[in-house]
Structure 1
């Protein structure tokens, strides 16, 4: 987790609208890195897809909005308010607004994060 800041890559991508996509193939693993691709970014919220190489995670943060995390490949440990949640492919969890949370390294995995920016203004 200590390498998170120097090994994090972010980019915005625009998926073709009205066309189906294989979500797990939109993002690849990069050795020793966390890769983040923003699929939709609006003033009311955004959707990002992320890949985590083995041994990579994210340090603790708090969002002013609810965030839905869905694992689309592999397994992840998501810690919310000091409670560990082990999620597998196909599972999701809502991270409540203002709750400290972080992602522990637990092997390679991919996930989708959806943030809804309303109701807390």
Structure 2
């Protein structure tokens, strides 16, 4: 759990992470054997190159807009939208403009 977040206390998600020039910033909010919840802030032009993960992951866009490619198919997701990235399928993220996201990874079968 992040040192700045207390269990059982409400906090604003979008304001909990800030953009940084030419960077991808991340903050893990919860890290358990069953999964993780991580905040990300991507500056324009930044991204995560194509990779796979052994678990399903849910991306919830908090601010801006992201280009998310899953299995070679490109999707645009904007503020308030979610997309599920299935396990073992190559995926990548790219910030054509700044965006923030909450990534929830579910470990297990």
Q: TM-score, normalised by structure 2?
A: 0.95
Decide which of 3, 8, 21 is 1:18's aligned counterpart: 8
Decide which of 88, 92, 105 is 2:82's aligned counterpart: 92
What is the number of equivalent residue pairs in this alignment? 108
Q: Structure 2: which 5+ runs fail to align?
A: none
- Residue in 1 aligned with 2:18? 28
Matches of 1:50 and 1:83 in 2, distance apart?
22
Matches of 1:108 and 1:101 in 2, distance apart?
19
Alignment RMSD (CA, Å)? 1.0
Q: In the TM superposition, what is the alpha-carbon distance from 1:39 to its structure 2 partner?
A: 0.3
Deviation beyond 3 Å, 4+ runs, structure 1 = none
3-state SS in 2 of match to 1:111: strand
Q: TM-score, normalised by structure 1?
A: 0.86
3-state SS in 2 of match to 1:25: helix
